[in-house]
Amino acid sequence: HNYAKFVKFASPCQIIGRKERDMSQIVIPNDIFFANLIDELGASGHVLLNVKGYSMFPFFRNEKDAALLRPFEPSAGLKRGDVALFRFHGKYILHRCTGKAASAYLFQGDGNCKGTEWAAPEDVLAVVEKRIAPSDKEWSCSSFSWKLCSALWPKTYIVRRLLLGVLRRIYK
């Protein structure tokens, strides 16, 4: 698929040509970066975000995979298993929704053994529609395989830690 119609945002603090794979970089502060991302998300309805960080490994690989984002619709809410971009204590985080309370969502990164974040619906900015690998292979978050892998991903600390250790050695 051609994502030329989508604004191509890179990981926070840098803009990198995704398709071109060039090495040119423009360093900008996160608040400016995400303000522009949010504006473009509202204007175009989709944004392609290159993922930076290890907290969503193995579903999203640091500086390799991209997430196609769509705006969050508060009326639709989030379901357990949805991956969303949200604000948490002044930071922007892309993690999986693992639960919901009356007025907030609980999030945890797939690559994190411990640690969770709570975010109110007004702090949720976007939802991931699909993961796009460097080969441009797409993995839809609404597909059966995505939902199955997400559901089977270990929830318990010890199993998750062991599995992450093995996967990190394989995918260095």
Residue 150's pLDDT band, with cuts at 50, 70 and 90, is: confident
| Alpha-carbon span 172 to 170, nearest angstrom | 6
Q: What does pTM read for this prediction?
A: 0.82
The length of the chain is 172
Question: Would you list the DSSP string of 56-81?
Answer: TTTTS-TTT-EEEEEE--TTT---TT
The predicted structure's pLDDT at residue 152: 82
73-90: per-residue pLDDT in tens? 999 999 999 999 999 998
The predicted structure's pLDDT at residue 4: 35
Q: Which amino acid is at 31?
A: D
| Alpha-carbon span 135 to 50, nearest angstrom | 13
94-135: per-residue pLDDT in tens? 999 999 998 999 999 988 888 899 999 999 999 999 999 999
Query: How is residue 68 written in tokens?
Result: 């196609």
Residue 163: CB atoms within 10 A of its CB come to 14
Beta bridge partners of 47: 7, 69
For residue 21, the 8-state DSSP code is -
Distance of CA 129 to the CA centre of its chain: 10
| Alpha-carbon span 97 to 104, nearest angstrom | 10
The predicted structure's pLDDT at residue 160: 79
Give counts: helices (H), strands (E), the chain.
3, 9
Question: Would you list the DSSP string of 110-130?
Answer: TT-SS--EEE-GGGEEEEEEE
| Alpha-carbon span 144 to 11, nearest angstrom | 28
